[in-house]
């Protein structure tokens, strides 16, 4: 076999397979990450309405908010190559608003922010195609 035949076989068989496997991996990790982020938002929502004198509940909301922010920081770095940067930035702003409102003790605003985050994550997960122009 000549070198050009070997290169052609590699190009025809292995490259599409590698692209498919990478797309599958990305799709799977995206679903896992969104599920984890959504569950963290739901934990925040579950602990929102409590007795105002209960300091443990206030601390747990702060812990859940920090966990959400840390998970988002890890995920957004991976996703920024495939999604519009405005969408990623919008969710970052919502998480920052949620964190600020939680620190201020405005739990009704936290409830609204958490619902907006869940909606934005759902919209992000429903993208049918990857925007490869961000990658190149």
Counting the structural domains of the chain, the total is: 1
User: By the 8 A CB rule, do 68 and 96 touch?
Assistant: no
Angle, CA 59 vertex, CA 53 and CA 63 arms, to 5°? 160
Q: What is the pTM of this model?
A: 0.75
Residue 7 lies in a domain: no
Domain that holds residue 128: 32-134
Residue 81 lies in a domain: yes
Average pLDDT over residues 39-59: 76
92 CB burial (10 A radius; 0-12, 13-18, 19+): middle
Task: Please state the φ and ψ torsions of residue 45, each to the nearest 5 degrees.
Answer: -65, -35
pLDDT at 37 over 90: yes
pLDDT at 131 over 70: no
pLDDT at 110 over 50: yes
Residue 23 lies in a domain: no
What's the first-to-final CA gap in the chain, in angstroms?
34
Per DSSP, 129 falls in state: S
Of the chain, the percentage scoring pLDDT greater than 90 comes to: 21
């Amino acid at each position: 076999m000549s070198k050009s035949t070997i290169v052609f076989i590699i190009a025809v068989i292995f490259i599409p397979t590698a692209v498919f496997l990478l797309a599958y991996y990305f799709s799977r990790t995206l679903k896992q990450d969104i599920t984890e982020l959504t569950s963290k938002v739901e934990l925040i929502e579950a602990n929102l309405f409590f007795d105002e004198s209960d300091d443990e509940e206030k601390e747990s909301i702060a812990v859940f908010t920090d966990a959400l922010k840390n998970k988002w920081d890890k995920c957004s770095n991976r996703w920024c190559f495939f999604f519009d940067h405005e969408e990623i930035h919008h969710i970052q702003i919502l998480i920052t608003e949620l964190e600020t409102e939680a620190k201020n003790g405005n739990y009704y605003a936290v409830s609204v922010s958490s619902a907006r985050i869940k909606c934005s994550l759902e919209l992000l997960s429903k993208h049918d195609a990857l925007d490869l122009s961000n990658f190149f």
